[in-house]
Amino acid sequence: MSKLDFITERLQSLQAQGLYNTIRTIESAVDAWTIVDGKRVLNMCSNNYLGFAADSRLCAAAKDAIDQLGVGPAAVRSIAGTMNIHLELEQKIAAFKGTEAALSLQSGLGVNLAVIPLLMEKEDVIFTDELNHASIIDGCRLTKAKRVIFAHCDVADLERLLAENKDIDKKLIVTDGVFSMDGDLAPLPDIVTIAEEYDAMVMVDDAHGEGVLGGHGRGIVDHFSLHGRVDIEVGTMSKAFGVIGGYVAGKAKIIEYLRQQGRPFLFSSAATPADVAACIAAIDILTETDQPVQRLWKNTHYFKEKMKKLGFDIGISETPITPVMLGEAKIAQEFSRRLFARNIFAQSITFPTVPHGKARIRTMISAVHSQDDLDFALQGFAAVREELL
């Protein structure tokens, strides 16, 4: 017996349950066609909504930034790591989102770990959707506040729980904007209305909304015209923006508080000039044109329509996230392997990312897919189903 035997057992158990992740290796830029494990495949599962991950304008901005500012700031933001380029990005995010101010951090996960524990203390209460992203759950876990989980997108349940806890002074409602596994939208207008009634703060994680929803991809708040009524918007630069990094947008007061006391801001080094410059370029492009967003939606409608005609269960998504529901983890994994054999890269998603029995292949539509690409994917899905189910 060794003290690490428990790890061997856990890994074997994952394999036995069909929950062991095959982590494939990307060997080219992430684009419509990507080299994965040595072969060129149609990429149907990156979060590269707008094709910005390999966009030449973002790449050029990153290279320029390296030439001017080097590869890293070598400090946390609060000591010696805040460069002019970080401030420029923050101004652009605030302008893009239509908020007073914004703060950029290293990741979307980091943002949730920064904001929730900062705002919420022991005597407070957090209302959190049962399907919120893991980083929101972890942000809640870092506080001593009371946690109240409401049924998924269920405003009546939320209202009942708010009423039960109405005597608690400080309340925060937190929700994903777009739920990443099913692609459905939070009922944000109703959440905001009810929050106003109970004097609760509202925080929305727009990771899968920006670049996708609203005018020019400004996100879910813009989509529902809720400007000024959502206290905290957080999100990521790692999905539609194609780069890496997280942000918080909202009232200047909140941003200032984060700069003073947000732990991931204070204790983890600043994002690199190349990343930040690429993010700025992404926002500049979207501010100027909504063409990539239009193409994304055109492709989305096309693919979903055809998948439905083929008889696939593509769930309840209202966004380019298109889950192909397959049920058992082992079937979803085998389906994915067979797609890959047909040069289609679309990974299966299983427990614990989604509940047991709800395994799926989550396809992600991108503005850089051509109609031929989408047709190729459709044929592949139909052929594998023929073989397997």
Ligand X SMILES: *Cc1c(COP(=O)(O)O)cnc(C)c1O
Query: With CB under 6 A as the contact rule, which of the stretches 105-113, 142-150, 261-269, 364-372 interacts with ligand X?
Result: 105-113
Give the integer Cα–Cα distance in Å for 22 and 4: 22
Catalytic residue list contains 171: no
User: Is residue 107 at the binding interface for ligand X, with CB under 6 A as the rule?
Assistant: yes
User: Is residue 272 at the binding interface for ligand X, with CB under 6 A as the rule?
Assistant: no
Q: Are 273 and 70 in contact (CB under 8 A)?
A: yes
User: What are the angstrom distances between the C-alpha of 70 and each of 62, 67, 106?
Assistant: 10, 6, 17
Catalytic residue list contains 208: yes
- Look-up: residue for tokens 């003290």? 3
Count of residues engaged in binding ligand X, rule: CB under 6 A: 13
Catalytic residue among 97, 216, 239, 304: 239
Sheet holding 246-250, edge to edge: 101-105, 246-250, 232-236, 201-205, 171-176, 125-129, 146-150
Q: Are 103 and 247 in contact (CB under 8 A)?
A: yes
Name the minimum Å distance from CB 90 to ligand X. 16
Give the integer Cα–Cα distance in Å for 292 and 50: 6
| Nearer to ligand X (CB atom), residue 286 or residue 384 | 286
Catalytic residue among 97, 133, 171, 208: 208
Nearest to 261 by CA among 91, 103, 98: 103
Q: Which of 43, 135, 272, 317 binds ligand X (CB under 6 A)?
A: 135
User: Is residue 205 at the binding interface for ligand X, with CB under 6 A as the rule?
Assistant: yes
3-state SS class at 255: helix
Q: Which residues from 230-249 bind ligand X, rule CB under 6 A? A: 236, 238, 246
Catalytic residue among 180, 336, 348, 366: 180
Name the minimum Å distance from CB 110 to ligand X. 7
- Residues 149-188: x where in contact with ligand X by CB under 6 A, - otherwise, as a string: ---------------------------x---x--------
| Nearer to ligand X (CB atom), residue 182 or residue 205 | 205
User: Is residue 129 at the binding interface for ligand X, with CB under 6 A as the rule?
Assistant: no
Pairing of strands 246-250, 232-236: antiparallel
What is the DSSP annotation of 321-358? EEEEEEESHHHHHHHHHHHHHTTEE--EE-TTTS-TT-
Name the minimum Å distance from CB 135 to ligand X. 4
Name the minimum Å distance from CB 246 to ligand X. 5
Name the minimum Å distance from CB 228 to ligand X. 22
Q: Are 60 and 67 in contact (CB under 8 A)?
A: no
Catalytic residue list contains 239: yes
Backbone angles phi, psi at 293, to 5 degrees: -65, -40
**Residues engaged in binding ligand X (CB under 6 A):** 107-109, 133, 135, 176, 180, 205, 207-208, 236, 238, 246
Q: Which residues are catalytic?
A: 180, 208, 239
